[in-house]
Structure 1
Amino acid sequence: MFDVLVYLYETYWRPDACPDAAQLHRKLSAVGFERDDIRDALNWLDGLAAAAQSVGEQTQAHSLRVYTADELAQLGPASIEFISFLASAGVLPPPMREVVLDRAMAIEGGPVDLEDLKIIVLMVFWSLGEEPDALILDELFVAPEERLIH
C-alpha cells in the first residue's frame, strides 16, 4: 500500500490532480500494482480526505498530546518520537498531527514502521496542498546514515 501512496505523491503533485477512483484504479493496475494494495491505498486516501477536512476547523495553536494505550502500541516509540520532533520543530501543528495519528491508526497490523509513518506525514502534507520545507523533506526521505554533515 505504501508503494502506491508514494507513487501517487510522485505522479500527482496535488490530490485534486488525481483522476476519479475508477480511472485511478485502472492506471495503478496498468503500472503493475496489486489489486489489494490499490484497494487499501484508495480506502486509506478516502479516510485521509475526510480527516483533512477537519484540519481547517481546528485552531489550537498549542496543545499537549497524551497517547492512548492503543496509539502507543500502534505507533511504537520511534514513531512517537518522530511525531514529537516534527511538532516541536513547528512543522506539524496539532490539527495536522491528529490527522497523522488518525491515518497511522488506520494501518492494519501495527506497530507502524517509522519509514511508513514518514510516508503518512508526507501524504498529510500532500492532501492539504502543502509542501514541507527542504529540511523536513530531508527528514522524510534521507536515511540518517546517508546524510552529509557540512
Structure 2
Amino acid sequence: MNENLIDVLIFIYENYMDTENQPQDQILLEEELFKAGFEKEEIKKAFDWLDELAWRQGSITDAASSTRQSSRIFTFEEQQRIDLETRGMLLYLEQTGILDPVSRELVIERAMALDTQDLTADDVKWIVLLVLLNQPGQESAFALMEELIYNGNPEMLH
C-alpha cells in the first residue's frame, strides 16, 4: 500500500480516536495498522507526529489571545509547502472562529512537520481536526470542523 502519513492519521482518527474501539496499548494499535496495510515507517511517523502534537498542545499558553487583530505572514518555506488556497482556508477558519491564533500556529507547525511536498487543503483540514480534538474549550470548533470535513459545510458558523 502506498499511503502517506496523513492517510495513517486519518485512519487512526476514523477508526480509533472517534470511537470507543481504542486499543489500550500502542503496540496493539501499531499491529492493527500494519494489518490494515500501512507500512511500519509511516505508522512510526504518525505516532511521532501525534506525540509531538500532544507535547506542543500541553506546552502552549494563550499568549496569542492579544493578537486577534493581527495578520499572519507566512515564511518563504511555509509558502512553498502551503499553497494559496490552503492559506485562504486557514484565514477563513480563523475569521469564522474555528481556529484561534494558537490553534492556527499549531496547524501550520504540524503541516510543516508532515513529510510531504504536495500538501492539499483537505490534508490541512484533517490537521485542523486533529489539533482541535483535544483542546479544552474547542468542542464547538471541533464539531464545526468535523461537519466541514464530512459534509462540506458546517451547519452554522458564528
Identity %: 30
Indicate conservation of the 8 Å contact 2:133/2:142, yes or no.
no
- d(CA) in 2 for partners of 1:115, 1:84: 15
2:31 is paired with a residue of what secondary structure? helix
- d(CA) in 2 for partners of 1:18, 1:123: 18
Q: CA deviation at 1:86?
A: 0.4
- Is 1:8 matched up with 2:30? no
TM-score by length of 2: 0.76
Residue 136 of structure 1: aligned partner: 145
Q: CA deviation at 1:37?
A: 2.1
Q: How many residues align?
A: 142
- d(CA) in 2 for partners of 1:98, 1:110: 19
Amino acid at match of 2:149: L
Q: CA deviation at 1:139?
A: 2.2
1:60 is paired with a residue of what secondary structure? helix
- Partner residue of 1:121 out of 111, 128, 131: 128
Amino acid at match of 1:139: L
- Partner residue of 2:81 out of 74, 96, 99: 74
Tell me, which stretches of 5 or more residues in structure 2 are unaligned? none
- d(CA) in 1 for partners of 2:53, 2:142: 21
Q: CA deviation at 1:143?
A: 4.7
Question: What CA deviation, in whole Å up to 9, does each residue of 1:44-82 have, x standing for no partner?
Answer: 112211221233x12332132111111111111111011
- d(CA) in 1 for partners of 2:13, 2:115: 21
Residue 41 of structure 2: aligned partner: 36
Question: What CA deviation, in whole Å up to 9, does each residue of 1:115-135 have, x standing for no partner?
Answer: 111111111112326443554
Q: Which has the higher contact order (CA 8 A, sep 6+)?
A: 1
Change (3 A) 1:43 1:84: same
- d(CA) in 2 for partners of 1:100, 1:80: 11
Amino acid at match of 2:27: A
- Partner residue of 2:62 out of 26, 41, 58: 58
- Is 1:108 matched up with 2:115? yes
**RMSD (CA atoms):** 2.4
TM-score by length of 1: 0.80
- d(CA) in 1 for partners of 2:84, 2:46: 25
Tell me, which stretches of 5 or more residues in structure 1 are unaligned? none
Residue 83 of structure 1: aligned partner: 90
